[in-house]
Amino acid sequence: MENITNTTLEKIQQHIEPLRQEIIQHKVYGVINDLEDLRIFMEYHIYAVWDFMSLLKALQINLTCTSIPWFPVGSGNTRSLINEIVAGEESDVDALGNKKSHFEMYLDAMEQCGADISAIGRFIDALKSGETMNAAYQAAGTPVEARDFVDFTFQVIHGKQAHVQASTFTFGREDLIPNMFLTMVNDLNQKFPDQISLFKYYLDRHIEVDGDHHSHLALEMTAELCGINEAHWIAAEEMSMESLRKRTRLWDGAYQAIMNRKKQ
């Protein structure tokens, strides 16, 4: 079974590679030339950082017992895998040595950079007060591309299919940060260390934790949940590809917003 599973994982990775390359080579990275461009990009990207955490918690709810009374749910292996990923994403160490989620670390980076965090704040506050997702979008003035991205993620969440959630998490949300973007951030950090250092730390930490250790855990989790069920593997690939298409559209929105700013 292990050989079959590994072969299937490799096939999915091969099939989604063109979509991954569209994101890695996206034109948005080439137009981020100053702090204001980066701020606009971050104001779009924050929605992907937030709903990543929501997808992660949906997996934890699906694969472990999060209610009382407690009962063993699923396999001990998948429980271990998802709990380890959650711990790393929800309570990592920030640049000052404080325990924070990656979402909170990103917000800190946005504040330091001078990006607007009021919109995502209104979005979160609206949801906390019991408003619908659409009402939260309206309160925040969320860009349509970000709405579509989050709506797809919550379609996966509400579907409650663990194998689909896991595959979307693993293949659709894995590390997609190109070297050219990292080089640009490093250059900006040298010029403006008081405004970029937290974002640089976030990216470095994201690559270190998510791009290495967590990606291996996620692959193992997806493989176990799909097993030898061909229908599960087909759904896993289809939803992963759609997730990548949504990310491309999110980047399209950020690109257009940056270009509109440059024309002013």
pLDDT the model gives residue 181:
83
| pLDDT more than 90, % of the chain | 70
Tens of pLDDT, residue by residue over 168-178, are 998 887 667 77
Residue 180 has pLDDT above 80, yes or no: no
What is the CA 97 to chain-centroid distance, rounded?
A: 23
pLDDT the model gives residue 116:
97
Residue 3 has pLDDT above 60, yes or no: no
3-state helix, strand, coil in the chain (%, to 5): 80, 0, 20
Rounded Cα distance, 244 and 109, in Å: 25
**Nearest CA to 202 among 130, 101, 116?**
101
Which are the contacts of 239, defined by CB distance < 8 A and separation ≥ 6? 156, 164, 167, 168, 172
pLDDT the model gives residue 263:
86
pLDDT the model gives residue 147:
98
| Helices 230-263, 215-226: inter-axial angle, 10-degree rounding | 140
Mean pLDDT on 251-261: 97
Q: Is the pTM of this model over 0.85?
A: yes
Tens of pLDDT, residue by residue over 210-244, are 666 677 888 888 998 998 899 999 999 999 999 99
